[in-house]
Amino acid sequence: MPQIFHKFFESKNLQNILITSHENADPDALCSAIAIKTLIDDFYPEKKSIICIDGLNQVCHKIIDYFQLEIQDSPDFQSDGVIIVDTNSLDQLGKIKTQITGNTSVMLIDHHVPHPRTKQFAQFTIINENAIATTEIIYDLYQTFNILPSEKIACLLFLGLLYDSRHLILANNKTIQIINQLLDLGVNYSKMIELLTMPMDRSERIARLKAAQRLIIHEFNSWIVVISHVSAYEASACRALINLGADVALVYGKKKDEIRISARATAEVTEKTNLNLARDIMEKIGPIMQGEGGGHDRAAGCSGIENLEAGLEEALKILKMKLGNEVNSQKKTNLNLTHN
Domain CATH code at residue 221: 3.10.310.40
- Residue 179 pLDDT greater than 50, yes or no: yes
Give the predicted TM-score (pTM) of the model: 0.81
What share of the chain in percent tops pLDDT 90?
Answer: 68
Task: Give the residue from 154, 178, 196 where a domain finishes.
Answer: 196
Q: What is the pLDDT at residue 339?
A: 44
Instruction: Identify the CA nearest to 197 among candidates 157, 159, 238, 151.
Output: 159
In Å, how far from its chain's centre is CA 265? 15
Identify whether residues 89 and 228 lie together within a single domain. Answer: no
Q: Residue 37: what pLDDT?
A: 96
Contact 75, 52 (CB under 8 A): yes
Cα 265 to Cα 277: distance, rounded to the nearest angstrom: 8
Residue 71: is its pLDDT beyond 60? Answer: yes
Kindly report each contact of residues 182-188 with a partner whose C-beta sits within 8 Å and lies 24 or more positions away, as own/partner. Answer: 182/139, 182/149, 182/154, 182/155, 182/157, 182/158, 183/158, 185/148, 185/149, 185/151, 185/154, 186/151, 186/154, 186/155, 187/151, 187/154, 187/155, 187/158, 188/155
What percentage of the chain exceeds 70 in pLDDT? 96
Vertex 175 angle, CA 274 and 269, to 5°:
20
> DSSP of 54-110, one letter per residue?
S-B-HHHHHHHHHHT---BSS-SS--SEEEEES-S-GGGGGGGGGG--TT-EEEEEE
Q: How many domains does the chain have?
A: 2
Strand partners of residue 48 = 16
Q: Where are the beta strands (DSSP E) in 205-265?
A: 216-220, 223-229, 248-255, 258-265
Q: Which of 196, 221, 250 is the last residue of a domain?
A: 196
User: Which residues form the domain of 50?
Assistant: 2-196
27-41, 114-128, 240-254, range with the lowest pLDDT = 114-128
End position of a domain, from candidates 162, 196, 230:
196
Contacts (Cβ under 8 Å, ≥6 apart) of 276: 113, 270, 297
**pLDDT reading at 118 higher than 70:** no
Beta-carbon contacts of 206 under 8 Å, excluding residues fewer than 6 positions away, are: none
Kindly report the CATH number assigned to the domain that includes residue 25: 3.90.1640.10
Mode of pairing for the β-strands spanning 326-329 and 124-127: unpaired
Residues 102, 145, single domain; the answer is: yes
- 148 shares its domain with 276: no
**Better-predicted residue by pLDDT, 330 or 259:** 259
Euclidean distance between CA atoms 295 and 42, whole angstroms:
31
